[in-house]
Amino acid sequence: SPGFTQTGDHPAVCVSFEDAAAYAHWLSQRTGETLRLPTNSEWRQIASYKASGDACRDGRIDCGQSGTVPADQGPASPLGLTGVRGNAREGLSDCAGGCRKHLVTGSGWRDNAARADPTRTSGLEASVGFDDVGFRLVREVP
C-alpha cells in the first residue's frame, strides 16, 4: 500500500527495480516476447517532445493533489503513451553508482512544476520500492 488510494488503472508503484526486472523476465517467458525496462537513451526518445508548457496540465505532478491517477489520464505523447510527463517516475535498465543503484527518470506526483523534466534521472537503490516510482516495459522487435 503506497499510502494513498489506487485502483487497477493506476501505475504500479512501490515496485523495486529488482521486482520490475523479475516481472519483465517472467512476462517474457510467458508471452515468448522479449520485454524489459527501457534504457535512458530509449526513454529520452519517448519523452523528448514539445508539450503545452503547462507542467500541471501536461503531467500528473504536485499541483495540489497527492498520489497517482489512472495511467491513461492526461495527454498522449506522439507515440500514444500517457503518463510520460508525470504521475510516477519510471525505472530504467541503466545502473548508476557502480551498479549499486539503478536510474529512474521522469516526473512523479511528488515533483513540482519547476522539477517537471521528463528526462531528468536519479539513481535509487535497486532493492527498494518507492511510492512515486513505477515502471513500463518495452518490447524488443527483431
- Alpha-carbon gap, residue 71 to 128, rounded angstroms: 22
CA torsion sign for 110, 116, 121, 122 is negative
Q: Which residue has the higher pLDDT, 138 or 115?
A: 138
Low-confidence winner among 1-10, 70-79, 104-113, 132-141 (lowest mean pLDDT): 70-79
| pLDDT, tens digit (0-9, with 9 covering 90-100), for 10-25 | 999 999 999 999 999 9
Report residue 97 as a C-alpha cell. 553508482
131, 106, 99, 135: which is closest to 2 by C-alpha?
131
Give pLDDT, residue 131: 94
Q: Where are the alpha helices (DSSP H) in the chain?
A: 17-31, 40-47, 55-58
Amino acid letter, 129: G
Whether 6 shows a pLDDT value over 80: the answer reads yes
Q: Model pTM?
A: 0.88
DSSP 3-state assignment of 12? coil
Give pLDDT, residue 75: 80
DSSP assignment, residue 68? -
- Quote the radius of gyration of the chain (alpha carbons, Å): 14
